[in-house]
Amino acid sequence: MGRAPSTLTFDPYAEGMANEEQQQAWAAQGIDWVENAAIFEAVLAPFADAVMHAADIAAGERVLDIGCGSGTLLQRTAALGAIPLGVDISEPMVQAARRRVPEATVILGDAQTMDLRAAAGGATYDRVISRFGVMFFDDPVVAFTNIRRATAPSSRLAFVCWREGDNPMFTAGIDVLAAKLESPPAALDPTAPGPLAFGNPERVRAILTDAGWNDIALEAFDGVCNFGIGGSDGVEERLALILANRTGQQARAELESRLGADGWAGAVEQLRDELRRQRVDGVVQFPGRTWVVTATNPD
């Protein structure tokens, strides 16, 4: 999801961020996520379940959520009686998480560079979790070293990330609009910071090993991304996410200018028809292919 970068508002809890490009991008993308929070919550629910199961959080444990977004895992952590602290580089999402989980500490900052123990009053963390929030670091080895140093001995890391190969989340319906553009967005670089950066399992193992983590395991997990909410067929929900992402926004700007309002409306209706054709058992749904990654801090 993406829009042109916007300026972050001042936050007294903000920490220094090394990755300025990601910071600026997520200032805008975070607005899209917050506006479509109900859709994301439903579609990504299986992956939140997978992380929480892998993390095995107990009451009283201090839990660090990297890329906490609007607070899904923070809320579930708090419900277990644990002590949640979230970090995210997106100011709109941090504000949303604070509203949603007032009992959690939520900080605007970059986990690659910030003093994570200071954020917890000098305490160490018993668990580190993340749902699709760890793939955006400039230097992931530095980031995961910094994260590990903030954890207690034998603490557990558990996160979910997109797996390499076909992932309809990034293609289903989007290709309809991309085909109409004179210069479609470039394909995502699987080695650059971004949603697909941890798709290769050997790269993930190498990063975590170099950062000092032990007992590294990657388990393939295929959850169903179901866009049907409240009995809907999911067409409008998937359409909303496509029109909010970088391809959708580029398509609207270009096609409205080139074809006029009616031409743009026609393109949207064509996309809607394509999504209807892609329904499975009457609902827009497809597999989300991910890794569930776990590791421990030996120190």
For the chain, the structural domain boundaries read 20-164+188-226+287-296
Q: What is the DSSP string of 128-166?
A: EEEES-SS--SSHHHHHHHHHHTEEEEEEEEEEEEPSS-
pLDDT per residue rounded down to tens, the chain (299 residues)? 332 222 222 222 333 344 566 555 555 565 677 788 899 999 999 999 999 999 999 999 999 999 999 999 999 999 999 999 999 999 999 999 999 999 999 999 999 999 999 999 999 999 999 999 999 999 999 999 999 999 999 999 999 999 999 899 999 999 889 999 988 877 778 888 999 999 999 999 999 999 999 999 999 999 999 999 999 999 999 999 999 888 898 999 999 999 999 999 999 999 999 999 999 999 999 999 999 999 999 97
pLDDT at site 34: 79
pLDDT at site 35: 86
Encode 102-138 in three state secondary structure.
CCCEEEECCCCCCCHHHHCCCCCEEEEEEECCCCCCC
- CA 103 to CA 63: how far, in whole Å? 13
- CATH of 20-164+188-226+287-296, picked from 3.40.800.20, 3.40.50.1820, 3.40.50.300, 3.40.50.150, is 3.40.50.150
Pseudo-torsion of CA 72, 75, 79, 82, nearest 10°? 110
Work out the angle between the directed axes of helices 140-149 and 201-210 (0-180°, nearest 10): 50
pLDDT at site 27: 55
pTM: 0.88
- CA 53 to CA 20: how far, in whole Å? 33
For 48, residues 6+ apart whose C-beta sits below 8 A from its C-beta are 72, 73, 76, 131
- CA 253 to CA 80: how far, in whole Å? 45
